[in-house]
Chains A and B, each alone.
Chain A
């Protein structure tokens, strides 16, 4: 599975420009799904099983990125962010445009000094000497470039958010030899800019319930105080995040299945950010939703870190959730 994660994180597909990752994932799943299609927003939808309760599992395949806003007459590229791109993660970073052009992020004023300039005072240097010489134009799209790192139990790469979630979904699909449910694995687009792909795909599928698989934050490094989730303690069952409250019955169901299958899980209350589950919840007449989270350090930086055991246990949990008929019980 490490190879799969590397393959996915090595692909360049920021929000709105998911062509490359869609084709990679499609080739990984096409022999395992009963049916595969692409909807109007580019979501990749793979169905497994037919006739049972309709379940939607969303894993977004887009990543954050940069978009060129202006190329100046010396060939330096000004840019804006696609999704949550923060100044702290940029200086000295390397990026790669969809067409393969590579560059480095510089800042006005150089690296001396203690303040952190905003994105408007940064630029990408692709090694061009003039605007004419520069292959990049306004509107071109790039993502972080950083090699995948295997530290044994810990894996590091750019776009772990959410390629690791996609990997979990792919492996869960492969593990699901048969199911009494009708499961739709949706590799969604444009999550990073507002959970957009999930909205239309959920509308089209109209499931009885659903959950997203996504990374979440972390609470176990120096200075982190408000979040009780750590690497290596298992996947997290999301109770709440900045955009939604999971359906309590889904939380109970996930907790129960984890217990039965002896998978250690954590309980997650995240103070910011949200996932595709939020969009799914509000579609049509409403959908009970939850989320299986993979704890991830340094989220939205070029070096996101996950625990490999957490990832494998997430696969186990998702496969167990999808196999048997689901009975949501209990009061809210």
Chain B
């Protein structure tokens, strides 16, 4: 049985910025190999694992998408040994000053993001939040050393180590969305001991933070009958208390809105209630903000759903998550998959279709 905390900590310690997911993809592949029948990479680098079902061919398939890329930074130029940055994925620049990072040059160089002295900045840039174009990475090395080891285009990732805030609560960077990868892994583990009729495509998608490209292209290639995206959602916390937020550790969320099929919501809600897994309704009236957005309009349209795992301080190096919620999400997925009948798709309806 997988030690999920150990796996998760190793996942968030592996670099894997959008389009450069190699290192984390290899880790996931190693973990998934014994759990699936086939495994391969898509043209954009998404990891696609197939666990075949027992139903008679042609079997319908379900795609579970969990993006494995993480946000980070990239070198835009080097000025007297100081490194200038561009973001990869969306970063609130205000959290950056003082953040430890790792520069992936010809060697891995630890450094810190420094706020430069105000007098070195143009006058109108000194007040308020310092823009990304004015922040610099200091590696502690001399300019000649930096020029030998670092080039424009090199990646820079967060270097904050994970820390357990309690036996159940983990903090670290890239829990968005490695936590969901862990949840999907738990699902695959459970499916080892369960029979299921449908084929299951476990997809660790690439480039979600930039273009949703991995999900769009995998959905096209695999053409599943159903899809579920698992991604983190907003947990309640300081400054984050509105209707879009959910308590930490009180269960995963189920997405509701135009991006998601209401029939799938009802089915998952019913199942969660039966299993006594607490769930909340995660309302996104239009854009779910996940891989589901590109999957839904792939090919001739795919009924899609989102399972959310509440996370505090999203897109900072100190994200916080409940391991229990991860386990619940994985279990809900496994139970849903094993309960799928061969003719499930034909039963999916928009309520008014009974008028036909």
Contacts and interface: CB of A to CB of B under 8 A. Distances in A.
Tell me, yes or no, whether A and B come into direct contact in the complex with CB atoms closer than 8 A: yes
Interface string B1-36: 000000000000000001111110110000000000
A245 B88 contact: yes
Given A285-B221, A286-B44, A267 B213 contact: no
B126 interface: no
A240 interface: yes
A262 interface: no
Given A226-B76, A240-B86, A246-B19, A285 B218 contact: yes
A248 B214 CA distance: 15
Contact of A245 (B19, B46, B75): B19
Interface string B94-107: 00000000000000
Contact of B217 (A245, A271, A282): A282
Which one of A248, A267, A282, A332 has the highest number of Cβ atoms from chain B below 10 Å of its Cβ? A332
B44 A226 contact: no
Contacts of A86: none
A42 interface: no
Contacts of B220: 284-286
B45 A332 contact: yes
Contact of B152 (A246, A267, A271): A267
Contacts of A239: 74, 152-153
A286 B75 CA distance: 26
A245 B73 CA distance: 12
Nearest to A245: B19
Contacts of A278: 211
A229 to B, nearest CB: 9
The SS class assigned to the A binding surface is loop
B52 to A, nearest CB: 20
B76 A245 contact: no
B76 A227 contact: yes
Nearest to B222: A285
Nearest to B216: A282
Contacts of A228: 76-77, 152
A282 B22 contact: no
Contacts of A267: 151-153
A281 interface: yes
B77 to A, nearest CB: 4
A40 interface: no
Nearest to A242: B86
Nearest to B294: A282
A288 B22 contact: no
A297 to B, nearest CB: 18
A322 interface: no
Interface string A254-297: 00000000000011110100000010011111111000000000
A247 interface: yes
Contacts of A245: 18-20, 88, 207, 210
A23 to B, nearest CB: 34
A226 B153 contact: no
A251 interface: yes
A251 B20 CA distance: 12
Contacts of B210: 244-245
A88 interface: no
Contact of A288 (B44, B74, B216): B44
Contacts of B75: 269
Contacts of A266: 152
A281 B210 CA distance: 12
Given A246-B19, A267-B152, A282-B217, A226 B42 contact: no
Contacts of A244: 210-211, 213
A225 B133 contact: yes
Interface residues of A, number: 30
A331 interface: yes
Given A244-B211, A269-B75, A332-B19, A286 B217 contact: yes
B152 A288 contact: no
A239 B19 CA distance: 10
Interface string A232-256: 0000000110011111100100000
Contacts of B133: 225-226
A110 to B, nearest CB: 29
A266 B76 CA distance: 12
B36 to A, nearest CB: 19
Contacts of A219: 77
Contacts of A243: 211
Nearest to B221: A285
Contacts of A225: 133
A266 B211 CA distance: 25
B57 interface: no
B86 A271 contact: yes
B193 interface: no
Contacts of A247: 19, 44-45
Given A269-B74, A269-B152, A284 B217 contact: yes
A246 B213 CA distance: 12
Contacts of A248: 19-20
B221 A284 contact: yes
Contacts of B84: 226
Which one of B22, B23, B77 has the highest number of Cβ atoms from chain A below 10 Å of its Cβ? B77
B120 interface: no
Contacts of B151: 267
B271 to A, nearest CB: 32
Which one of B43, B211, B216 has the highest number of Cβ atoms from chain A below 10 Å of its Cβ? B43
Given A286-B221, A331-B26, A332-B22, 9 more contacts: A225-B133, A239-B74, A240-B74, A267-B151, A267-B152, A282-B211, A286-B42, A331-B22, A332-B45
21 contacts: A227-B77, A228-B152, A245-B19, A245-B207, A245-B210, A248-B19, A248-B20, A268-B152, A269-B74, A269-B75, A269-B152, A282-B211, A282-B216, A284-B217, A285-B42, A285-B220, A286-B42, A286-B218, A331-B23, A332-B22, A332-B25
Kindly list the 10 A-B residue pairs having the minimum CB-CB distance in the complex, ordered from nearest.
A286-B217, A285-B221, A245-B19, A239-B153, A332-B22, A286-B43, A228-B77, A286-B44, A267-B152, A331-B22
Interface of A: 219, 225-228, 239-240, 243-248, 251, 266-269, 271, 278, 281-288, 331-332
